[in-house]
Amino acid sequence: MAADEFINHVLDMLGSIGEVETARFFGGNAIRLAGVQFAMIMQGTLYFVVSDALREQFQALGSQPFSYDTKHGPRAIHRYYTVPEELLEDPKALCRAGNAAFAHARATSKSAKHKRS
């Protein structure tokens, strides 16, 4: 599946959680709901922001944290984990996980904290 097709597929699957938007983001695509980034697509892989509970669920299904290479070696970002393949084949399960990712991202977002003040 081409990159744009995958992005559109993910947006279609997540459509039932609200008006999901995408924007270019550091060589990938940020996925936002109500202005809060809760997911991203990097190099054809979907990542969700994870709470401790969602991280454990994803890890049990073989997910890995987002990582990138630096001159000092790989760096993992444990806020984002790959969405398990099983969820990409089940729109209801993907939306449940997407809702959990959005809720956690909204609760922990620096911009959301400023808006609440």
**CATH no. for residue 14?**
3.30.1460.30
pTM above 0.95, yes or no: no
Domain enclosing residue 105, as ranges: 3-110
Judge whether residue 115 has pLDDT over 80. Answer: no
Instruction: Count how many domains the chain has.
Output: 1
Q: In what order do the strands lie in the sheet with 36-42?
A: 20-25, 28-33, 36-42, 45-49, 73-82, 65-70
Assigned domain for 85 exists: yes
Assigned domain for 37 exists: yes
The amino acid occupying position 29 is N
Assigned domain for 102 exists: yes
Assigned domain for 116 exists: no
Q: What is the Cα–Cα distance from 69 to 100, expressed in whole angstroms? A: 28
Assigned domain for 42 exists: yes
pLDDT in tens, 25-80: 888 999 999 999 999 999 999 999 999 999 999 999 999 999 999 999 999 999 99
**pLDDT, mean over the chain:** 91
